[in-house]
Chain A
Amino acid sequence: MSDAAAAVQHHGPPQGFLRKYVFSLDHKVIGKQYYGLALVAVFTGMFLSWLMRFHLVWPNAAIPGLQWLSRVGAPGGVMTPEYYLSLLTMHGTLMVFFVLTNAPFAAFGNYFLPIQIGAEDMAFPRFNMMSFWTTFAAFLALMTAFFIPDGPPISGWTAYAPLSAVGPDAGPGLGWGQNCWAISIALFCVASLLGSLNFIATTLDLRAKGMTLMRMPICTWAWFITSCIALLAFAVLLPACLLLILDRIAGTSFFIPAGLVVSDRLQPHAGGSPLLWQHLFWFFGHPEVYIAILPAMGIVSHILINSMRKPLLSHKVVIGSMLSIGFLSYMVWGHHMFLSGMNPFSALVFSFPTLIITIPATVLTLIWLGSLYGSNLQITTASLFSLGFISMFVSGGVSGFFLAQPSIDIYLHATYFVVGHFHLVMGVAAIFGIFAGTYFWFPKMTGRMMNETLGKIHFWFTFVGAYCIFMPFHYLGLAGNVRRYSSFVDDFMAPLMPVHKFITIAALFTGAVQLVFLFNLIYSRFKGAPAPDNPWNATSLEWTIPSPPPWDNFGGKHPVVYHDPYQYGVEGASADFIMQTSPEKLPEKS
C-alpha cells in the first residue's frame, strides 16, 4: 500500500453519536446501513406484491386499510387498475435497485470486501458515506411518490418512453410521480458510481501484504467484477435518466417523436426516439441482472466451500467464468427488444451471445455440483440457503433457453413466463444469496449467533414456497397469459384462475414466513448466543479478527497473507483448515 493511498484512506476512531451511527466513515457501519435500507425496501416491496397478488385474484374485494395508503388509488379499499400499475412500478423499482443491488453488493461488499483483503477501510471513506446517503436520498425520492395525490408512476420499472416521458396527459402518476421516480433513479446511479469506484480502488490498492489477486476469496472477486460492471452500467443509466427528466420538465424531445396525440392533445414534441430509451435502459438493465446475481454467486461459493470442508474444483475457472459472464453481459441487452421494432437481423446478433452466456453459467453450476462430490457437507442454515441457491439458479436459468431465442420470444415475450424466469434467476436466487450471507456473517457483524432452528424453519418454508409461487408462472406464460394486467376480464383466462389463486395463497404464506427471519434477526441481535471469532472454522481474513470487529478492523496491525483463500482438508496439515494468515507451511504434495 502506498503512503498516499494510506493517507486518503486513514481516519481516526469515530467520535460522538452522529459519526458513529449516522454519518459514519466506517465501511462496516455503512454496510449495515445498506443492509437496513435493503431490509426496509424488501419488506415494502413484498407487501406491495401481496396487494397485487390479492387484487389479481379478488379484483373487487376491499383490502382493509388500503384507502389509507391512497384514497384515489383505492377508494373504499378496492384497488383501481391504475393503482395496481403504480404498485407494480414501485415493487419492481424497490426490488431491483434497493434490494437486489443494495444487499448482496453494496451491503455485504462494503462490510466484507475491505476485511477480506486485509484493509483498514475503503479507499475513500468519505465517498463511501456519500454513496450511502445518496442512495438514501434516492429511496426517499422514490417513496415520496406514494404521497403525491395521483400516486406513483404507472409506467413499470422499465419506464418505457413515451409513456414515461410525455407527462400527466398519459395517465395518473405520470406527472410528479414519474418525476420522483426519475430523480430517484438518477440519484441511485450517482451513488452506485461512487460506490463501485470505491470498491475498485480498494481492491486494487489496499490489499494486505501477500494478498495477491488470485488469493482473494471468490466473493471478493465477485464484488470486484460487479463493481466493474456497475461502473459501466450506471454510467449509461444516469444520462438516460437525465434526458428523461429534460423531456419531462424542459420540453426536450429525446425520447418523444412527432405527431403523438395523447389524451386528445397533440404533444408539442418532435424528433425523439422511444427506442433510444429502450437501448439505453437495457444497456444498463441487462448487466444489472448480473450486478444482482454475481455477488450472490460469490457469497454462495464462499459459504459452500466452508460447509463442504474442501475448496471448489478450480478457483481460477470460477473466477474466469464470472469474468466472462461480466464481459458478455454487455452484448446481450437487445434480447429484451426482439419485438421492439429494431432491425430483425440484430435479433440474431443479440440472441447468440445470450445463448453463449449459458456456457460460463453452466461451468459454474457444474463446478458447484462437482465440488459437492466427495465432500464432507455440513448442514447449517447458511449452507441450506446456498444449496437452495444452486437449485433456484438452475430452475431460473433453464427458462432462459427459451427467451434467448427470438422465434420463441414471439410467443413468450410479455407473458408470465418471463416473470417466472427473472423472479427465479435474479430475484429468488439473489435473495437466497442474501439469506445465506446473513446467516453466515451475522455472528461476525453483531458478535452474536443467529438461531439455527428458526433459520431452518425459515429455509424450508421459503424454499418450497418460492417454488410454489414461481414455477406456476411458467405454466401461465406457456398458456399465453400476459403480464402487467391488473385483472383478467375475459373467458380465455378463466381456466388459468385456479393457478393464479394457488400462486396468491403461496405468496401470502411464503411472505408471512419472512417474519420468522425478521424476528430471528432482531431477537438474535440482542439475545443470541455470543459468537466466537471463527464460529465456522473458516479460513479467510474476516475470521481472524474479533466478532464484531473493532473500528479499524485489524486493531492497527497489518495482516500478512500466506495462503490461497480456501485451504480446507489439506492432507497432513495440523487441522482440517489453514487460515490465510497462518504462517504454517503447507505439507509437500506427494
Chain B
Amino acid sequence: MGKIFAVTLALIAILSAVPIVMNYWGPPEDISTHGHAIDEQMKDTMYEAGFSFLAAQFILGLFIWQYTGRKKGDKLKTFPGGAKGLVIAALVLVGTEILALGVIGQKAWASVYFAAPDKDAMTIQSQAGQFAFYFRYAGPDGKFGGMHPDKIDEGNQNFFGLDPENDVDARDDVISGELGVPVNRQVNLLLHSKDVGHSFYVRELRIQQDYVPGLDLAVHFTATKPGRYEIVCTQLCGLGHYNMKAYLNVMSQEDFDKWLKEKSGQ
C-alpha cells in the first residue's frame, strides 16, 4: 500500500501543478502602472511555493515507497545529519526565501501605499452603501460639497447627503454610478462608507481596499488601458453582497471630458 500511496501523491502533485503551469485561469491582464510589480512578486512566490510543494510531496512519497513493508532484519537508519542538519536547512532555505520575498517584495506594497498621490492626480470620491457604489467628481470649482448623513435620500438621488441649497461647493458636484477615469492619469480615490464595511476591488487594476465606516481612506492608481472593468465588493456587506458591482470606465482624456460633461448635465 505504501507504493500506491507514493504514486497517488506524485499524481496529485503533478495534476495540481498543471493548471498553474499551463496558466488556465490566471489573473486577467494588468492595466495599472503598479500592477506589474505585484504580478512579478506573485510569479516569484509561485516558483518558491511550487518548488517547496512539489519537493515535499515527492520526498514524502519516496520515503513512504521505500520504507514500508521492510523485512524483519532491516536495520533502522537515521537521516544523515540528523535534526541539526534539518534545522539549519530550514533556517537557511526559508530564511533566504523570507528575506527575498519579504524585504525585496515590499516594493510593490510601497508603490501603492507609501507614495503620496501626485499633485495633479484627479481626486474622485466614492461612496459604498448596501448594495451600490457611487462616485463623485468635484466639478469646475474643484471642491467637494460637505456630506450630511441626515440628508441622504436615495429616492431623490441624494446619495451623498449633499445640501446644495446652503452649500455652494456642493452645487456643481457630479455624481455617477460608474467610475469614469481618463487613461494614464493618476486617480486619487477617496473611499467613504455609508453604512457597513465594503471593499473596492478591480482585478485588472490590482487594487483592493476596504471601505471602513467612520474612517475615510484613500487609494491611488493610474489606469493604462481604455476599457470597461468590473468593480466588485469584496467585504461581506449583507444580503445583496453578491450583486454589489459597478464599472470602471477608462477613457481617453477627450472621451472622459465629454463623459463628465454629459454626467453633469443630468
Given known pairs A266-B150, A377-B64, A478-B20, the reply for A363 and B70 (CB within 8 Å) is no
Q: Provide the residues of chain A in CB contact with B94, threshold 8 Å.
A: 358-359, 362
**In the bound complex, how far is the Cα of B207 from the Cα of A387, in angstroms?**
39
Given known pairs A369-B63, A387-B64, the reply for A480 and B49 (CB within 8 Å) is no
**In the bound complex, how far is the Cα of B240 from the Cα of A413, in angstroms?**
20
**In the bound complex, how far is the Cα of B63 from the Cα of A367, in angstroms?**
13
**In the bound complex, how far is the Cα of B91 from the Cα of A359, in angstroms?**
6
Nearest residue, chain B, Cβ from A414: B234
Given known pairs A266-B150, A408-B41, the reply for A339 and B109 (CB within 8 Å) is no
Say whether B60 faces chain A, with CB atoms less than 8 Å apart.
yes
Say whether B132 faces chain A, with CB atoms less than 8 Å apart.
no
Interface string of A408-435 (1 = CB under 8 A from B): 1011011100000000000000000000
Q: For residues 55 through 85 of chain B, which have their beta carbon under 8 Å from a beta carbon of chain A?
A: 56-57, 59-60, 63-64, 67-70, 74, 76-79, 82-83
Nearest residue, chain B, Cβ from A376: B70
Nearest residue, chain B, Cβ from A363: B90
CB-contact partner of A377 in B16, B67, B195, B214, under 8 A: B67
Given known pairs A355-B98, A408-B42, the reply for A479 and B236 (CB within 8 Å) is no
* B25–A499 touching, CB < 8 Å: yes
Nearest residue, chain A, Cβ from B61: A391
**In the bound complex, how far is the Cα of B41 from the Cα of A212, in angstroms?**
47
Q: For residues 378 through 399 of chain A, which have their beta carbon under 8 Å from a beta carbon of chain B?
A: 378-379, 384, 387, 390-391, 394-395, 398-399
Sorting the interface of chain A by its residue count into under 10, 10 to 19, 20 to 34 or 35 or more gives 35 or more
Which one of A97-105, A132-140, A270-278, A325-333 is at the interface? A270-278
Residues of B in contact, count (CB < 8 Å) = 100
The smallest beta-carbon distance between A306 and chain B, in angstroms, is 14
The smallest beta-carbon distance between B27 and chain A, in angstroms, is 6
* A467–B90 touching, CB < 8 Å: no
**In the bound complex, how far is the Cα of B115 from the Cα of A345, in angstroms?**
12
* A257–B130 touching, CB < 8 Å: no
* B245–A490 touching, CB < 8 Å: yes
Say whether A227 faces chain B, with CB atoms less than 8 Å apart.
no
Query: Which B residues fall within an 8 A CB radius of A?
Result: 1-2, 5, 8-9, 12, 16, 19-20, 24-28, 37-38, 41-42, 45-46, 48-50, 52-53, 56-57, 59-60, 63-64, 67-70, 74, 76-79, 82-83, 86-87, 89-91, 93-95, 97-98, 101-102, 105-109, 112-114, 129-130, 149-150, 152, 154, 161, 193-197, 199, 201, 203, 206-210, 212-215, 217, 230, 232, 234-243, 245
Given known pairs A163-B238, A370-B79, the reply for A262 and B42 (CB within 8 Å) is no
**In the bound complex, how far is the Cα of B240 from the Cα of A172, in angstroms?**
11
* B212–A155 touching, CB < 8 Å: no
Say whether A60 faces chain B, with CB atoms less than 8 Å apart.
no
* B67–A375 touching, CB < 8 Å: yes
Say whether A213 faces chain B, with CB atoms less than 8 Å apart.
no
* A257–B213 touching, CB < 8 Å: yes
Nearest residue, chain B, Cβ from A320: B87
* B101–A162 touching, CB < 8 Å: no
* B102–A490 touching, CB < 8 Å: no
**In the bound complex, how far is the Cα of B240 from the Cα of A499, in angstroms?**
24
Given known pairs A154-B238, A262-B195, the reply for A170 and B130 (CB within 8 Å) is yes
Say whether A365 faces chain B, with CB atoms less than 8 Å apart.
yes
- 14 A-B pairs in the complex with CB atoms less than 8 angstroms apart: A352-B102, A355-B102, A362-B94, A369-B60, A373-B63, A394-B52, A398-B50, A402-B46, A407-B112, A410-B206, A414-B208, A414-B234, A414-B235, A480-B203
* A408–B38 touching, CB < 8 Å: yes
Q: Provide the residues of chain B in CB contact with A471, threshold 8 Å.
A: 12, 16
CB-contact partner of B12 in A170, A370, A464, under 8 A: A464
Nearest residue, chain A, Cβ from B230: A492
Q: Provide the residues of chain A in CB contact with B83, threshold 8 Å.
A: 313-314, 317, 367, 370
Q: Provide the residues of chain B in CB contact with A499, threshold 8 Å.
A: 25
Nearest residue, chain A, Cβ from B25: A479
The 3 nearest A-B residue pairs measured at CB: A257-B214, A374-B77, A314-B83
Q: Provide the residues of chain A in CB contact with B243, threshold 8 Å.
A: 81, 489
Q: Provide the residues of chain A in CB contact with B129, threshold 8 Å.
A: 261
